[in-house]
Amino acid sequence: MPAAGRSRGLASLALGSLATATMPVAIFATRYSESYELLHAGFAIPLALVLALGALAAARSALRRNALRLELGGAARGARLGAVLGVLGIALASSALVAVCVYGGLTYLGER
């Protein structure tokens, strides 16, 4: 794969890895912090979504470039793995969003 396609594949892989790690790292950080609570990890949800969408966009671009050049081989593996990690990052951020919404709803109903 040419340098541009390879760099997009690597960017997809890096962004997907960051997107997948964002929510667990945010939750882990609140565990050992005295000034932040678990609910504060919800502020990392938009960051995880942006990173995941960036991973998907970079993977799509790299795979399209690879298909246009009719290249065979393992050069597209990084882009495919980046796309999978991007989807996983979206799933983690979505589940965190659902958890925060359920917590907010239960807190609201409990205070009524």
Give the domain range for residue 101: 3-111
Per the rule left: phi > 0, alpha: psi between -120 and 50, beta: everything else, 65 is: alpha
Q: What three-state secondary structure class fits 9?
A: helix
pLDDT of residue 11: 93
Task: Give 35-45 pLDDT, tens digit per residue.
Answer: 888 889 999 99
For the chain, what is the mean pLDDT? 89
pLDDT band at 87 (very low <50, low <70, confident <90, very high): very high
Q: What is the 3-state secondary structure (H, E, C) of 33-86?
A: CCCCCHHHHHHHHHHHHHHHHHHHHHHHHHHHHHHHCCCCCHHHHHHHHHHHHH
Cα 85 versus chain centre, distance: 7
Share of the chain above pLDDT 70, in %: 90
Read off the pTM. 0.86
If you average pLDDT over residues 64-82, what whole number do you get? 78
Number of structural domains found in the chain: 1
